[in-house]
Structure 1
Amino acid sequence: MTDSKSSRLDDLVARSRQDQAERERGYREQALKMYPWVCGRCGREFTRANLRELTVHHRDHNHDNNPSDGSNWELLCLYCHDNEHQRYTDATPGTGGSAAGPSATHNPFAGLADLLNRDDHSK
């Protein structure tokens, strides 16, 4: 990649990250004004001293869905927020996990039909 293309790509990535950070600040500030500073899962309370550990979770997992009434947001501590996203990933098909856990690969009855159809099974 040439230097000018690399530079343009770096600028685009930096601008994209800055735009995302600005959007997040906007809805986070709104949510913190709207809701009590308490984790919606574990009930941990927050003060200004530890408020950075309280995050805004999007209920539908769409970070672009930010209605002004806050209906798609809930405040979660860092730990509960991580747990929520892990549960969502585990339950989403095609992401490597499932709600029931990993799927089995061994079939204990794979050769059963052959065994039952053998001529000497009547002995």
Structure 2
Amino acid sequence: MSSAKSFEQVRAEQLEYNAKRESGYRERALKLYPWICGRCAREFDRRNLSELTVHHVDHNHDNNPSDGSNWELLCLYCHDEEHSKFEAYVRYGSSKASKSKAATHQPFADLKANMEGSKD
């Protein structure tokens, strides 16, 4: 039971920390920017405002400049997509195509000569 209690305590502390952190920059971002998703252009009002999130462009949640230059408002779906792309970048590297060298192996170079030689 102690591990369950410690989990609940840690979870409560994390939720409290998240709420404090979000109350600051979320409220400022909602005052700075129109309530429109920056990717899909979906519009929001008070009824569905909870589905509009603040995305940190540099993925650093502690970088909250007062001018909002590190924020963009994204709907839940676009926010998830943005973080999925970032996780793929971290895991697999750049999404830009790397220039590969041209192939030099020519598997059929001597095919005709080999076929003519096998008829003997």
The alignment's TM-score, normalised by the length of structure 1, stands at: 0.68
Deviation at 1:13, TM superposition (A): 3.5
Q: Does 1:99 align with 2:81?
A: no
Partners of 1:87 and 1:37 lie apart in 2 by: 23
Which one is further off, 8-17 or 38-47? 8-17
Shift of 1:7: 4.1
> Number of residue pairs matched?
100
Asked which structure has the greater CA Rg, the reply is 2
Q: Which of 5, 16, 19 is the aligned partner of 2:17? A: 19
| Conserved 8 A contact 1:89-1:97 | no
Deviation at 1:99, TM superposition (A): 2.6
Give matches, 1:1-123, under 5 Å.
3=2, 7=5, 10-92=8-90, 95=91, 99=95
- Runs (4+) of structure 1 exceeding 2 A deviation are 5-13, 95-100
The normalised TM-score by structure 2 is 0.69
Unaligned runs of 5+ in 2: 97-104, 108-116
CA offset digits 1:38-66 (Å, max 9, x no partner): 11111111111111111000000011111
Q: What root-mean-square deviation, in Å, do the aligned CA atoms of Structure 1 and Structure 2 show?
A: 2.6
Unaligned runs of 5+ in 1: 101-108, 113-122
Q: Which has the higher contact order (CA 8 A, sep 6+)?
A: 2
For 1:21 and 1:10, how far apart are their aligned partners in 2? 16
